[in-house]
Amino acid sequence: MVNVTLLNYTPNPEKTIAAAAKLCYSAASIDTINEGLTPDKSSAFINMLSEIGHESPIEHASFTFGIEGVSRSLLAQITRHRMASFSVQSQRYVAEGNFEYVTPPEIAAIPQALKIFQDAMEQDQQQYDALTSILKEKHLKDFLDSGMEVKKAEQAAEKKAIEDARFVLPNACDTKMVLTMNARSLHNFFKHRCCNRAQWEIREVADRMLKLVLQVAPSLFKNAGPSCLKGPCPEGNKCCGETKQVREKYNSLKNELKGK
């Protein structure tokens, strides 16, 4: 099951951004840049940046998330957001014994489909285990023949074996990662991945990330979400046709957090 945690973020993110904006638009020096930046004043600077479309100052705040219970399929999508830093649990160094996997809701809803899917996952595990065993035996012999000490040979043989055995693992295989983005990249991420046309798994992750950052930087992310929150849908004839419902969903989320 997907779990998203806000691990860390720039202290006083809105004040940090306001200080950068203040330097751009006033005669403030570095020594005085933080003077007078109350929460209300910081919020006002952020609103101004949003109104005039000056986005570079918001890059000075970054947010780090822990994400787990997601699929390798999601990993392939999320890493397309290049203005970000990723640290992902490696299948080269971590053996996938009894690997966890993500089941798409549409498959889970149909018993016959679910049975086929679960059987496929079980077969993948069996094939992975068999390949690992065969390859490890071969590599162990090679390392021992080369004069390597037994314990080191066993460790090296397993690492080399799972490096190739992982090729049979499915896109559904569970993974976990640490992800860092600056606020400008996050706005772009939410614009694309909170959209109804985004794949269901990454949309759920994006919604959870948005909820977390709204709690620590509400002014900064009050306009964040899919493109249709502030204007027409950019998808043209591929529009989901549910703009009203999408706006209601995100306005409700933000109002709910504002009331806490």
Please give the positions annotated as active site: 193
Rounded distance, CA 102 to CA 71, Å? Answer: 6
CA-to-CA distance for 117 and 95, rounded, in angstroms? Answer: 22
Q: Residue 181: beta bridge partners?
A: 63
Beginning with the edge strand found earlier in the chain, give each strand of the sheet holding 85-88 in spatial order.
3-9, 62-71, 174-182, 85-88
What is the β-pairing status of strands 62-71 and 174-182?
A: antiparallel
d(CA 189, CA 225): 9
